[in-house]
Every structure is written in structure tokens, then in C-alpha cells.
């Protein structure tokens, strides 16, 4: 009898280990894309040679200059706002991207009617599907000081423009492409509320839903509050935790290859609570989102000290490097036909 009980216990343990292994494999390799998570995609991993090549494309000076150009007062409707918008548009057009402006006028607190302009840039406007990255380019209005908003969100804007520059000769696919969206009017003019915030993203998500364009978005990666030394990202949206886990894995691979300068990870596969941001109008319409916002808000958040000279470029470049790997892995291995689950 003891021998029989031991055999049964061993068999049960074996089954548990097998099930756990299968679940882990499913979690690690399986990815869902598209609205409602109904499409299946298993990306092919970059090899070490590819990762070293992509890392070698880094352009630190370009990143720094771009942050400097965007880190100015750019409240909606001000000259600085127009200057930054024109800079982003011209930057991407020079790289031969298709750039469109989504214009609309709306009444806001403090001011009267304000014209917002979302910037939508597509590397290939004829693609059938898009990996979408986004951030906001406006800065918040403060009565008592000029807010330069380096981490909020000049650095995220600069990371996307820097990525477009670095990867300009690496885009070869025609069926799936990269889309960059720079939202206007993320910041509230008064106290944050559902009505006074996210002006650009609310308008664009509604517009795209009407025209059926949301179905072309495989995945939306939103960047915000990046540039502080202590930046850390955690998984804050459960249904895209598999995709976030891939970012964690890529950073770990870069560490193991000796490519990264820092000795600490910025992407941690730990649960966190999500916060309101430009992704909400899209998640409410079932677009899968990775929300890359610092789990700990920068110490300079909404303060006069949020300026370019306080940006930590070591952490910023590490974020950019991981995102670069993610983008190229996705675009290069995305199947021509995505299979329904």
C-alpha cells in the first residue's frame, strides 16, 4: 500500500508539473493581437547577432537634440505648441513617412474654443495592419510657471522620432507597418476629469471606430512619464501581460549579451495599477494596449524642474533600445495572415 500511494503521489506530481509547463509555455509564446484579442501571433525571436546589429544603430546625440527641441512650453494654442507640432511633422516627412493631422475644435475650461491637432504618421500608408506607438506632445498649463514637460512627454516623443531615424533603413515589410501617433490635448486645462483630459485620444478613437480603422491596429504601445533615473515599468493591463513579458525578456537578453550599460532592469513582470491616459479611449473599444508609464512618477512631475537638463539619458536610451528590439522582432516575424483563434 505505501508503495502504491507513493506511485499515485508521484503520478499526480508529474501531471501538475506537466500542466504547469504547458501553461508557462502558452503564456510565454502565445500572443493575441487585434481588437477583442481574437487573432493569434507567435513572434520569432531575434538572435544575438540581430540584437547586436540593432543596438549598434543607436544615435545618442540625435535623441538628446530631439528632447531639447521638444522640451519647451507647448500648451495647446500657444506658439510653442505650434513649433513642436511643426517640428514633429517635418521630422517625419523628411524620413518619407506619411503624416496626417486630425484637426478639431472644442471648448475647454479656462480658455474658450481650442483647436487640437493629433499627428498620425504611418511608415507605410498602404499596410493592412499596424503596430501603433503613441504619446502626447502638448504640455500642461500652469499659471505660476512655464512648464517644459521633459518627462511629460518630450522624452517619449523624442524616443519615437529617434526610433524612426534609427530604423529608417530596416523597414521592409509591406503588409504590416509601424504607426506613430502624437496625441494633442492629453493634459487637463483645469482639474483632471473625464471631460477635461484626453481630448485628442478621445476624438481619434471615436473617429477611427466610425471609419473601421481600429480593426487595423494589432497592438497599441503608449509611452508616458519617461526620462527620470528611477523609471520602472510594470504590467498594468492584464490582457496584454504576454506582450509586456516579451519586453521583460528582451531587456534580460540584452543584459546577458552585455549590451546594456545599466545594471538594473527597467521592465519588471510585477503587477501594478493602471492610471488614466491616452490609451483609455482605445481600451474601451477593445484595442489591445501596453501602457508604458513609469510605475513611480518622476520627482519633477508637474513641477518647473521637469526640464531637459534633468533627463537621465542612460535610462532613456535603455528604454529606447528595448523598444527597438520589440518593434523589429514584431515587424519582421509577423505573419502575412494572422490566424483566428
* Residues labelled catalytic: 186, 224
- Mapping DSSP to helix (H, G, I), strand (E, B) and coil, where does residue 313 land? helix
For residue 136, give the H/E element and its range. Answer: strand 129-136
- Please report, for the chain, how many H helices and E strands are present, in that order: 9, 11
Instruction: Count Cα atoms within 13 angstroms, Cβ side, for 94.
Output: 8
User: What is the helix, strand, coil percentage profile of the chain, to 5?
Assistant: 45, 20, 40
Whether the upstream peptide bond of residue 153 has omega within 30° of 0, thus cis, is yes
Report in angstroms the alpha-carbon separations of 210 from 207, 225, 285, 331: 5, 30, 11, 27
Q: Which residues touch 270 (CB under 8 Å, ≥6 apart)?
A: 234, 235
C-alpha–C-alpha distance, residues 153 and 190, integer Å: 18
Among 84, 132, 140, smallest CA distance to 109 is for 140
* Residue with the three cell numbers 512627454: 153
Amino acid at each position: 500500500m505505501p508503495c502504491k500511494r507513493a506511485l499515485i503521489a508521484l503520478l499526480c506530481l508529474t501531471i501538475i508539473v506537466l500542466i504547469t509547463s504547458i501553461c508557462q509555455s502558452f503564456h510565454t509564446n502565445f500572443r493575441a493581437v487585434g481588437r477583442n484579442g481574437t487573432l493569434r501571433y507567435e513572434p520569432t525571436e531575434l538572435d544575438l547577432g540581430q540584437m547586436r546589429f540593432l543596438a549598434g544603430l543607436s544615435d545618442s546625440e540625435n535623441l538628446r537634440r530631439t528632447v531639447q527641441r521638444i522640451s519647451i512650453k507647448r500648451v495647446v494654442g500657444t506658439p510653442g505648441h505650434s513649433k513642436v507640432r511643426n517640428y514633429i511633422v517635418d521630422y517625419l516627412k523628411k524620413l518619407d513617412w506619411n503624416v496626417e493631422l486630425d484637426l478639431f475644435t472644442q471648448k475647454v475650461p479656462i480658455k474658450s474654443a481650442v483647436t487640437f491637432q493629433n499627428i498620425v504618421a504611418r511608415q507605410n500608408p498602404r499596410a493592412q495592419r499596424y503596430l501603433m506607438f503613441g504619446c502626447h506632445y502638448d504640455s500642461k498649463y500652469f499659471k505660476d510657471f512655464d512648464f517644459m514637460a521633459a518627462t511629460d512627454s518630450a522624452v517619449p516623443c523624442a524616443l519615437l522620432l529617434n526610433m524612426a531615424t534609427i530604423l529608417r533603413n530596416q523597414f521592409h515589410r509591406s503588409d504590416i507597418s509601424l504607426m506613430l501617433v502624437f496625441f494633442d490635448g492629453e493634459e487637463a486645462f483645469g482639474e483632471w476629469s473625464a471631460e477635461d483630459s484626453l481630448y485628442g485620444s478621445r476624438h481619434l478613437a471615436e473617429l477611427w471606430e466610425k471609419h473601421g480603422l481600429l480593426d487595423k491596429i494589432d497592438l497599441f504601445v503608449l509611452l508616458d512619464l519617461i526620462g527620470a533615473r528611477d523609471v520602472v515599468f510594470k504590467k498594468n493591463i492584464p490582457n496584454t501581460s504576454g506582450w509586456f513579458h516579451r519586453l521583460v525578456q528582451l531587456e534580460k537578453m540584452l543584459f546577458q549579451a552585455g549590451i546594456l550599460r545599466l545594471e538594473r532592469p527597467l521592465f519588471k513582470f510585477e503587477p501594478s495599477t493602471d492610471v488614466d491616459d491616452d490609451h483609455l479611449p482605445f481600451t474601451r473599444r477593445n484595442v489591445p494596449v501596453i501602457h508604458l508609464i513609469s510605475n513611480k512618477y518622476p520627482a519633477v512631475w508637474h513641477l518647473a524642474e521637469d526640464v531637459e537638463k534633468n533627463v537621465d539619458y542612460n535610462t532613456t536610451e535603455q528604454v529606447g533600445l528595448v523598444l527597438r528590439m520589440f518593434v523589429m522582432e514584431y515587424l519582421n516575424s509577423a505573419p502575412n495572415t494572422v490566424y483566428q483563434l
